[in-house]
């Protein structure tokens, strides 16, 4: 090995490939307010998910969760199964999600249980931190009836903090939060309101009428702030005090409780949280604290407070779902995160129909929608696709 070569020590990770991990479970079923809290935090004002009277008059007969809410029924923002084993000096950020849905929407009163597995990893060189692990974790979601609701493959990035700090790709001096004028904010709000009106009634486009090249109405989210990031964190049910328990089977060691890939000052204290729940809620103490604490963010190479990958995936799903309407359904979705949403940024979500499939693997016609998220500077922070069924 050449002198000065930077390497990742993955020896403790290898033994967990293909094994079940993360034995955590929510105590309670969800309720309508959990769903309302989620769409409020994701700035997704679809009345089907928060307006009781509107939802009762819809074909659903009451409030129903958006497909993006599935991740909020889980422990760990969806990424925990991709984060297991000790890598000295490392930290983790989220890199992308792939979802398969099975036609069973989440409603108030549902309780999901999960099976979680560490699927494997690869190591590649990145400009951000040199040798970087791209790790995959799988989660299977079932409801209280045993019905399959969804499967997720999460991809996380594990990197050496010291190397990221040397390279300073996201250094504070490279990306100061934008100062928005009142005129700027008025224009953002105008575009946001236009998007809300684009399909508030939930009317689904017909498969026969949709054409390749059709554009989805542009959505705008932001500007992102410390407050909006905190609200996003709190919308995950796991981050409300006392909502979950750790329940590994007898005699099973679950490495995800102790041997996780977060920075030293961004870990949970599971013993202390028995007395002081802040010590385990993720936001005050734990892996989400860097999202609202600029000093902690800078310590792990992020240069300032930043948003959640799980929120970006939700923005993608919700944008496509809003366009698809009440009779549309997303069967499969893939997103790749290119960069976080940072404090002061605005996120623009654009979508386009790129393919029509008459006979799909899901047993009905689907359209493939491609999404792209950009900042006010035109930087791409996410690319995604979704396969969506529409009425004939």
pTM of the model: 0.94
**pLDDT at res. 260:** 67
In the chain, what is the straight-line distance between the N-terminal and C-terminal CA atoms, in Å?
61
pLDDT tens readout for residues 356-378: 999 999 999 999 999 999 999 99
Q: Which residues of the chain have pLDDT under 50?
A: 1-3
Query: Per this entry, what is the length of the chain?
Result: 392
* Cβ contact 133:84 at 8 Å: no
Residues sharing a CB contact under 8 Å with residue 31, sequence separation 6 or more, in sequence order: 108, 109
Who's near 4: CB < 8 A, 6+ residues apart? none
Which domains does the chain show, CATH number per domain? 11-389 (3.10.129.10)
- Interior angle at CA 115, CA 68 and CA 28, nearest 5: 65
The per-residue pLDDT for 286 is 78
């Amino acid at each position: 090995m050449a002198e000065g070569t930077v390497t990742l020590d993955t020896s403790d990770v290898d033994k967990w490939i293909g094994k079940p991990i993360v034995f955590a479970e929510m105590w309670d079923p969800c309720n309508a307010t959990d769903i309302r809290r989620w769409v409020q935090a994701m700035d997704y004002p679809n009345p089907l998910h928060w307006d009781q009277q509107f939802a009762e008059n819809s074909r659903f007969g009451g409030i129903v969760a958006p497909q993006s809410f599935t991740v909020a029924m889980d422990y760990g923002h969806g990424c925990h199964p991709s984060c297991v084993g000790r890598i000295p000096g490392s930290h983790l950020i989220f890199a992308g999600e792939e979802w398969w849905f099975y036609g069973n929407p989440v409603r108030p009163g549902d309780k999901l249980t999960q099976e979680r597995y560490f699927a494997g990893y690869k190591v590649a060189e990145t400009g951000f931190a040199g040798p970087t692990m791209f790790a995959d974790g799988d989660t299977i979601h079932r409801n209280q009836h045993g019905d399959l609701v969804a499967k997720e493959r999460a991809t996380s990035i594990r990197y050496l903090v010291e190397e990221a700090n040397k390279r300073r790709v996201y250094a504070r001096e490279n990306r100061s939060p934008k100062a928005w004028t009142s005129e700027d904010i008025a224009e953002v709000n105008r575009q946001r309101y236009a998007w809300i009106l684009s399909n508030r009634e939930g009317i689904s486009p017909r498969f026969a009428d949709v054409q390749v090249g059709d554009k989805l109405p542009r959505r705008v989210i932001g500007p992102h702030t410390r407050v909006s990031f905190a609200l996003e964190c709190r919308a995950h049910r796991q981050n409300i005090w006392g909502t979950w328990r750790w329940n590994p089977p007898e005699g099973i060691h679950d490495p995800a409780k102790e041997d996780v890939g977060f920075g030293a000052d961004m870990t949970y204290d599971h013993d202390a949280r028995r007395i002081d729940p802040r010590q385990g809620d993720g936001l005050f103490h734990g892996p989400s604290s860097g999202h609202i604490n600029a000093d902690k963010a800078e310590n792990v190479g992020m240069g300032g407070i930043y948003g959640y990958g799980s929120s970006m995936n939700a923005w993608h799903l919700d944008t496509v779902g809003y366009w698809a309407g009440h009779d549309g359904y997303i069967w499969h979705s893939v997103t790749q995160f290119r960069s976080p949403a940072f404090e002061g940024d605005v996120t623009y979500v654009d979508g386009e129909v790129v393919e029509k499939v008459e006979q799909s693997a899901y047993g009905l016609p689907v359209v493939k929608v491609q999404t792209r998220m950009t900042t006010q500077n035109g930087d791409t922070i996410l690319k995604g696709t979704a396969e969506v069924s529409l009425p004939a």
